[in-house]
């Protein structure tokens, strides 16, 4: 088994439209999964699905190809871990019991290859945005989840579709500004767990920064960049599944 460990986030697989870009994204992702078979682990760091919600006797029908690819990867001996994002926080028993994905807390610190690695989706890291944080606390509460299970799946996914589109108004400029803020915050805020590495998703901006012996990684996304992190031999690198030009934005 390969000692390689992979981290990726923000694939945002859609349930409401199958465009050419969505087909390409899924094709690349499944090809990537095949290429890492037999690796030690894959960490899915949130927003893998643009919306995911399980009922007791029903799961979303839209992601059969993705689930089959993950199931096949797990069958190769690769461990798969997943933390929820702001779009797919509601991980249920189908992903864990049937597909074999190991759920992780929203923020977790792991001992891997001699390093302490902290992993989180990252939608709570930026300062401010209190309205969003309050809304998030409400929709993740047990009463809200119980109420959602009483709603017909078509209505629930229809609401999620509207909410997802409304949240897509983040501009290229704002994404760069958010990344710059996190990089500035990182040395003083993201190593409180005696960790050597901090890995986050959410910001669709691939970037890796070294602060002496500390490493900070923003995973980017699989909507435009096809970026991911690899941990091998105790070293973290940021990589792209295929070479793309102009995938890095100048934030300096």
Q: pLDDT tens across 47-74, in order?
A: 998 877 777 767 777 889 999 999 999 9
Report the pLDDT value the prediction gives residue 166, as an integer from 0 to 100: 47
* Domain annotation for the chain: domains and CATH numbers: 2-240 (3.60.21.10)
Average pLDDT over residues 232-236: 96
Q: Output the average pLDDT for the chain.
A: 84
HEC readout, 53-97? ECECCECCCCCHHHHHHHHHHHHCCCEEEEECCCCCCECCHHHHH
Q: Is the pLDDT of residue 242 over 60?
A: yes
- Split at pLDDT 50, 70, 90, the class of 88 is confident
Residue 236 pLDDT greater than 90, yes or no:
yes
pLDDT attached to residue 247: 44
Instruction: Return the closest-CA partner of residue 102 out of 111, 93, 110.
Output: 93
**CA 67 to centroid of chain Cα atoms:** 15
126 vs 152: CA distance, rounded Å: 34
Q: Check if the beta carbon of residue 232 is closer than 8 Å to that of residue 3.
A: yes
Q: What distance, in Å, lies between the first and last C-alpha atoms of the chain?
A: 40
| Consecutive H or E run containing 142 | helix 142-148
Q: Is the pLDDT of residue 245 over 60?
A: no
Indicate the pTM of the whole model.
Answer: 0.85
Whether residue 251 is predicted with pLDDT greater than 80 in this model: the reply is no
Beta-carbon contacts of 241 under 8 Å, excluding residues fewer than 6 positions away, are: 28, 31, 32, 226, 227, 228
């Amino acid at each position: 088994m390969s000692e390689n460990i992979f981290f990726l986030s923000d694939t945002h697989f859609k349930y409401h439209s199958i465009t050419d870009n969505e087909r390409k994204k899924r094709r690349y992702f499944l090809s990537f999964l095949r290429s890492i078979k037999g690796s030690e682990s894959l960490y899915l760091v949130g927003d893998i699905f643009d919306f995911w919600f399980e009922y007791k006797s029903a799961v979303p029908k839209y992601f059969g190809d993705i689930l089959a690819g993950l199931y096949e990867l797990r069958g190769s001996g690769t461990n798969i871990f997943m933390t929820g994002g702001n779009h797919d926080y509601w991980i249920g028993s189908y992903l864990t019991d049937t597909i074999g994905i190991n759920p992780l807390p929203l923020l977790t610190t792991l001992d891997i290859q001699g390093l302490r690695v902290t992993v989180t989706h990252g939608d709570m890291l930026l300062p401010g945005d209190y309205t969003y944080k309050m809304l998030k606390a409400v929709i993740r509460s047990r009463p809200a989840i119980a109420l959602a299970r009483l709603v017909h799946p078509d209505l629930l996914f229809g609401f999620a579709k509207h909410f997802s589109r409304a949240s897509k108004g983040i501009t290229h400029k704002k994404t760069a500004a958010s990344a710059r803020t996190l990089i500035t915050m990182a040395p003083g805020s993201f190593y409180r767990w005696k960790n050597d590495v901090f890995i986050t998703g959410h910001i669709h901006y691939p970037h890796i920064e070294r602060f002496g012996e500390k490493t900070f990684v923003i995973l980017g996304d699989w909507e435009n960049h096809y970026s991911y992190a690899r941990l091998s031999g105790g070293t973290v690198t940021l990589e792209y599944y295929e070479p793309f030009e102009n995938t890095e934005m100048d934030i300096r």
